[in-house]
Amino acid sequence: MIEAHIIPYFGNMKLNEITPSDIINWQNAIREKQYSQTYMRMLQNQITALFTHAQKIYNLGNNPCKKVKKMGKSDADKLNFWTYEEYEQFIKTVDKKSHYYVIFEILFWTGCREGELLALTKDDIDFKNNQIHISKTYYRTGGKDIVTTPKTEQSVRTLEIPEFLKEEIQDYYNRLYDYPTDKRLFPIVAEAVQHKLKRNVEKAGVKKIRVHDIRHSHTAYLIHQGVQPLIIKERLGHRDIKITLNTYGHLYPNEQKNVAAMLDHRKKENALAANKSISK
């Protein structure tokens, strides 16, 4: 976050020269990128932590972050995602021979992050065992492509993928002539994916979502299929099960009803068994 969103903006400015006005201008620049409220709050926390550290350790006089309103929200707003039917309507508008088709298929059927997808190489795909190995992430800053380790240790993971997705990825790679196995499969920037999504959303006539919301769509689909939170946590690469439950717990209302129905059923079974025992 610091390398991608703070250093490129403030450059070589000294911390004691950065004013509250500078922080506000930075916040406005971040808002223009249309990140989620939670991500903007995380960015805010990062820059605030830098100034707080400078105050405590290097005797910085003032923390400009404390003089302006915090950006973003700590708790996510209502999740925006597609149903399976909406995704199907969208993907039909994307040319199957296009690399974008494979990109959106991977995003929807794995729930990986956009940066993780853009960092994938052929070496990360296990075609024999139908697996994708997530071990790095991609972003672009200062006109340079950066591939680095994921945001957390838990983000390094192996995703099981369905046969049809494996075949789509394999067909795409086979169309690349003499392509290096360690080179990014999709050598494009995140903005290109965002623009393509926006154009085809309009073609499909489905509700507008961000690229990151496709990750939410994958999760909502898994929940609808009855997949339990711990499995989803591992698939998404969350650091803690609390993150999964805080983000997606409200999508589990039927599970609460199922638990109550199960307990009621067990209670009746036990009562019936007890009555039979007494009658004997």
Q: Along the 280 residues of the chain, how does pLDDT read in single tens digits?
A: 888 899 999 988 999 999 999 999 999 999 888 777 778 888 999 999 999 999 999 999 889 999 999 988 765 556 789 999 999 999 999 999 999 999 999 999 999 999 999 999 999 999 999 999 999 999 888 888 999 988 678 899 999 999 999 999 999 999 998 899 999 999 999 999 999 999 999 999 999 999 999 999 999 999 888 888 899 999 999 888 887 877 787 776 555 566 667 677 777 887 777 777 666 6
DSSP secondary structure code for residue 64 in this structure? G
Residue 280 is predicted with a pLDDT of: 60
Looking at residue 32, its amino acid is E
Residue 119 is predicted with a pLDDT of: 96
Residue 258 is predicted with a pLDDT of: 64
The dihedral of CA 17, 42, 160, 102: what is its sign? negative
Fold designation for 84-243? hpI Integrase; Chain A (1.10.443)
Residue 120 is predicted with a pLDDT of: 97
Strands 157-160 and 131-134: antiparallel
DSSP secondary structure code for residue 153 in this structure? G
Region for residue 226 given its phi and psi (left: phi exceeds 0; alpha: psi -120 to 50; beta: otherwise)? left
Domain at 2-67, CATH from 1.10.150.130, 1.10.10.60, 1.20.1560.10, 3.30.310.80: 1.10.150.130
Looking at residue 29, its amino acid is A
Residue 198 is predicted with a pLDDT of: 96
Residue 125 is predicted with a pLDDT of: 97
CATH code 1.10.150.130 region(s) in the chain: 2-67
Residue 77 is predicted with a pLDDT of: 54
CATH code 1.10.443.10 region(s) in the chain: 84-243
Instruction: With H, G, I as helix, E, B as strand and everything else as coil, classify residue 238.
Output: coil
Using the CB atoms, write b or e for 202-231: b if 16+ within 10 Å.
eebebeebbbbbbbbbbbbbbbeeeeebee
